[in-house]
Structure 1
Amino acid sequence: MTRIPASARTARTTRRGVRGLIAVALIAGVVAVIAAAVLVHQAPTSSSRSSFTTPSLSSPSSPAPPSRIPPGGATVFDGSIPAVAKLDPELRKALREAAAAAATDNGVELRVTSGWRSTEHQNRLLREAVEKYGSESEAARWVATVETSPHVAGDAVDIGGSGATAWLSGHGAAYGLCQIYRNEPWHYELRADAADRGCPRMYADPTQDPRMRRQR
């Protein structure tokens, strides 16, 4: 029997050890790749996560009232917005004539921040006002009931911007547009004889308006 030198036996053993380590490393790598693939397959996508944690703004459970106007307001010429389109025709006509004059006069734009309101919208505003001011009597200084609100009837409009309300304060009567409440410089209604007689005396707030006492 031929004796294998000790150095050769050591080298052979070393090679077997290296090959064994390489095999173990390869197996570990394969296992890691498979585990990663399983995790990726099982992990929810960002869209699926958001569907559980972030409600959609357009969710049918909380739709925006059809009478709500987009942020920034709408022009009085925008007939595609119900809050403008469903205003009393004579009020809408007066607003458009005034808006054209204001734009020509000194570039003032009359933007509607609230016009016709649905009953749902008005009820929501009233509930929010009661919560904000702490009582129905205090809320009544700012928001009317569905039965008494001129907004629900399409007879009132709120105009945004200090420049616009200042222009209407000085020129609105010529178009029959009058501020009705002293505490609401944005709220205007049509008074057809205002061009000849001027606007009627303002109420301090809606609680002083006899119309607001009906069906309360």
Structure 2
Amino acid sequence: MNRNRRPQRTAARGVRGLLVVGALVIVIAATTAAISSTLPSSSSAAPSLTFSDAPAPPRSEDRGVLDETGRVGDGVTVFDDGIPALTNLDPVLLEALRQAATDAASDGVVFVLNSGWRSPEYQDQLLREAISEYGSLDEAARWVATAATSPHVSGDAVDIGHVDATAWLSEHGAEYGLCQIYDNEPWHYELRPEAIEHGCPATYADPTQDPRMQQ
């Protein structure tokens, strides 16, 4: 009879052991889940800034080409100092441009400088490249002036990058005396102080229609 009961007690102890182990497994799993829920995962990391949330790029002369020809590197804004393309502009033009850019920034618009003042040598180089690209001086003249006639060489013109900036200037530029001059160059702006009261003058189709280019 004792022999018959021993296997029953052994089996009972085995069942109890399995129950204990199972309970421990459940506790450990629950604890691990609780700890994991408090740790950041790759999917719950802070989201990166979108373009609209990102602050304007800081001033950085590393982004500009600092030579005396007026070449400009990528990402230069109209607030970057030490850039000859900016510092050699007419001071009144630069002041108006920066005031407009300050106000545009409140609308989330950044004025990127594609070109400003240029040396005569740089202007001649651009004209030669345009002749090579367009096949003739007459066609190139629709886009690039000679060093003798270019308002860039005299420090009286800027080319502003990004469509949102040129769109902003198209709507508000006259308030600062900043006017688009050519229909085919929506990025090209010059100072016309009278525009503040009377609006910008009519544009030319392209530089070949500008009497200043006939000198």
State the TM-score, normalizing by the size of structure 1: 0.68
Q: 1:94 aligns with which of 93, 96, 110?
A: 96
Q: Percent identity?
A: 64
Correspondences of 1:140-155 after superposition (within 5 Å): 140-155=141-156
**In 2, Cα distance between the equivalents of 1:65 and 1:207?**
28
Task: Show structure 2 runs of 5+ residues with no match.
Answer: 1-65
**Could you tell me how far 1:103 is from its partner in structure 2?**
0.3
Aligned residue number for residue 190 of structure 2? 189
SS of the aligned residue for 1:180 comes to: strand
Equivalent AA in structure 2 for residue 66 of structure 1:
T
Equivalent AA in structure 2 for residue 94 of structure 1:
A
Pairs aligned (count):
150
**Could you tell me how far 1:66 is from its partner in structure 2?**
3.0
1:65–1:120 CA contact under 8 A, matched in 2: no
Aligned residue number for residue 173 of structure 1? 174
* Cα RMSD (Å): 1.3
**In 2, Cα distance between the equivalents of 1:111 and 1:87?**
15
State the TM-score, normalizing by the size of structure 2: 0.68
1:133 and 1:64, CA in 2 relative to 1: closer, same or farther beyond 3 A? farther
Q: Deviations over 1:32-83 (max 9, x none)?
A: xxxxxxxxxxxxxxxxxxxxxxxxxxxxxxx9763100123x1112221000
**In 2, Cα distance between the equivalents of 1:107 and 1:97?**
15
Correspondences of 1:9-48 after superposition (within 5 Å): none
Q: 1:67 aligns with which of 65, 70, 75?
A: 70
Larger CA Rg, structure 1 vs 2: 1
2:100–2:176 CA contact under 8 A, matched in 1: yes
Task: Show structure 1 runs of 5+ residues with no match.
Answer: 1-62
Equivalent AA in structure 2 for residue 197 of structure 1:
H
Aligned residue number for residue 164 of structure 1? 165
Equivalent AA in structure 2 for residue 70 of structure 1:
G
SS of the aligned residue for 2:152 comes to: coil
Aligned residue number for residue 59 of structure 1? none
Equivalent AA in structure 2 for residue 67 of structure 1:
G
**Could you tell me how far 1:180 is from its partner in structure 2?**
0.1
